[in-house]
Chains A and B, each alone.
Chain A
């Protein structure tokens, strides 16, 4: 009796093991996902980055990966990307990185995985109504001769120039001081402060010239123009075109090789971001759902990128 029971037990368990082993896929080098651990994508504070991240995330999920979104400050995320607590970030701008990020990239603690594909620029921006007070704009010389228009009690007799937050960069300050221009820079403190200045300037119809960058959602709402800065000054003070790029934990390529390849070829463009930004910031749609809808209806845009990543 006991023997019979034992026999059936052995047989059934053997059968079970067989069944399971048949069901389990053979461990192939290229099977997705290479690891069931979640790929952690950094979510920063701005909508454009949310769009870039959620689209990449939806596609990765479609490929079979487990994706997790982790909110992070730009600076602290460098720590996460260097030790694997974050896997990748889908949009980062080199014009507001400070010193620490470049150092980490240089030392190879974070891997630069290429540009996002956004057509970005940076420069001196003014709202269109400023032209009433300084008709010669956007010419560089005209701006210099109307410096007094921008003066206020704190900067008089110099013009007031709103600079990036001090922890981003001081390129405009270096240019103004190096060339002895009649402007005094006021650092903004945060992106919100820059945008608030821009909005208030339009509503109060007050002169404003500031350091800014594009694409930015507020430029869709407010009519602005860029000052024409002479090329030699741009070169001299490295007012470069900002590079918008993706970055990853150096261990990504070993742990999830296919996901790594995909994120490397992954590209967006201004058009896609602007359409979705409008849906999220103006129409108030949920960013996860809006990007999911876009991914579902634009398969022909992103499937070639997945194909590229999965073919050896």
Chain B
């Protein structure tokens, strides 16, 4: 642990002094809420915001967009045309190249990035693509990625440098990046379609936009981390600011920039499916979507694996290169060997191109070698359904009855003879109250009044449900939380953001989404936390779970929607499952990382004092890893909001569905508002948790 400076001590004392005042605020909120609940039946507008108060934001946005599109259409169409050329050229040439030639190029790249192991992995990944007959669509996808990644890397580098250079730019760019990363990608497909017209370029631009923020962030981070001595030595040798940037700062920041390139590539891959909603290039995303539309699980799963494999290959390759950059530069000898390699690879490729003119099987992978086991996968799903339908229904119903329905409608509306077996009565309410008080009292002794406030809030949510909650109460609750954890600025942002959603008339959808994501985050985080602890304590489990995490995060989750619907039918439960599958990954990763990265000397001290393994976990590792774990929660929330739109394919009602409806009716305004609402929720949650984690880190002396 680092030493606690006198400054930190003062901070701690000040914050201790403010606690009672903040407790008063919560008590006040509690009193207000009692009043609100008491009068809500007389004043209906407290719960459902009246339609006549809604402001036509969507129309205003549409008016503006119409003007903007008319004014700039020509320029954007021209830009789209310009981009079409390299895209078509790259696509045609990748498809034209004989498959062994492409294979050789990839294997050679993989070998120079990560040695034999990576090469074998790459070879088997491409083997899979060939054998299962996805070669041509894969090449179309690679053409998209190979063009969109350099585009986002170049623009990202430029914006990153500008952000680093000027404070004013930074204040403009940083919030923009937040919006770009949390705004659902589906929603910005509509304006891009209007501006650029139909074609694969829309997908290209959308993925370039989505993949840019990580690049910008890493460029800024890398430039800031350059040691001042290095810059000074550059200044002393008389470099101009521009020279300083190109010859000193950027090369020194290269390792971090390479990580940015890696993250951009991953982001581009996660956009493949969404980009193919537009169509235009018959790529692998299109294969997944078409199969999914036919409810053909086997086919969509096999095609989905292609995306996961390619993402993993690209990830390992770009990470390999990033790592090589961090290591000391190799001597001139390796430079020559590398050139030798490039030349020999090119020669080999040319040999295959020539040979392919004579042997058809080299040009196109022979059809007789292609296998298609989709049928067996479908049979497996059918088997599970017909054998275990009773168990599946029981699982779904207990989740719905005891968890999802109460959160959505509240106990007051969901306890019915059909569900719980009895009508809501006073005895039940009395039991519920006693239970809540008992839990609150026992937690008070453990964690103080914060825990009590938390329990009360959960109890209120569970009893009244997100849809029965008066909107003034919800807004006040979020604003107060933001104020106490992150300060005045965030409180203003949260307040204005929520008012915007209210006035735009999307409140019911917002609450529906808060409910679904809240439920999913609860499970994803609790399960991920447990798995993360297991992975941190047990190396074998860690090795076992890592490829599963990789697959869940790179595999387009569309493909799981089909079996999930067949198992559990359309509704909130399968949607929640789909979100959990995606959002559990950061919870696992951050928990494991947080626990594993604790300063070993602290652990040794704990062991020296004779802590058992369990004591060590609860009293040393978990408290110290808490800030990091909280960042995992933060990511879990952002991931679950990102999945919201995709889960709408299962048929959820809420903001995700609004985005879809806006897409099919060409209503740019509604799409932007629904998308912005998702982005605002994500940003509020993000900022609150970040502020909390930073505070905690300071208290623990970690920074």
Contact = CB atoms under 8 A, between A and B. Distances in A.
A180 interface: no
B666 to A, nearest CB: 3
Contacts of A72: 198, 278-280
B279 A77 contact: yes
A165 interface: yes
Interface string B381-402: 0100110010001001100110
A122 interface: no
B666 A196 contact: no
B394 to A, nearest CB: 11
A217 B382 CA distance: 18
Interface centre among B282, B405, B650 (most CB of A within 10 A): B650
B562 interface: yes
A189 B652 contact: yes
B290 interface: yes
Interface stretch (B291-299, B459-467, B591-599): B291-299
A46 B295 CA distance: 11
Contacts, number: 174
A193 B150 CA distance: 36
Contacts of B401: 153
Nearest to B656: A189
Interface string B339-367: 00000000000000000000000000000
Interface string A263-287: 0000000000000000001001000
B648 interface: yes
A154 interface: yes
B664 interface: yes
Interface string A39-74: 000110111000000000000000000000111110
Interface centre among A103, A153, A217 (most CB of B within 10 A): A153
A156 B419 contact: yes
Contacts of B193: 76, 79
A76 B275 CA distance: 11
A204 interface: yes
B89 to A, nearest CB: 16
A154 B278 CA distance: 34
Interface stretch (B37-45, B527-535, B546-554, B566-574): B566-574
B665 interface: yes
Interface stretch (A13-21, A30-38, A80-88): A80-88
A73 B661 contact: no
A217 B295 CA distance: 12
The B interface is mostly helix, strand or loop, or mixed, namely helix
Contacts of A196: 295, 562, 565-566
Given A200-B385, A200-B567, A284-B372, A167 B664 contact: yes
Interface string B642-665: 000000111111000100110111
B281 interface: yes
Contact of A193 (B277, B281, B650): B650
Given A167-B661, A189-B652, A203 B389 contact: yes
A80 B561 contact: no
B295 A199 contact: yes
Given A157-B418, A197-B570, A204 B386 contact: yes
22 contacts: A71-B282, A73-B278, A76-B278, A78-B198, A85-B197, A97-B664, A152-B569, A165-B651, A167-B663, A187-B657, A189-B570, A189-B660, A190-B649, A193-B570, A195-B295, A196-B566, A197-B569, A197-B570, A199-B295, A199-B566, A204-B386, A204-B389
Given A203-B386, A204-B393, A206-B389, 11 more contacts: A72-B278, A78-B666, A80-B280, A153-B405, A190-B649, A193-B295, A196-B295, A196-B566, A200-B565, A200-B569, A204-B385
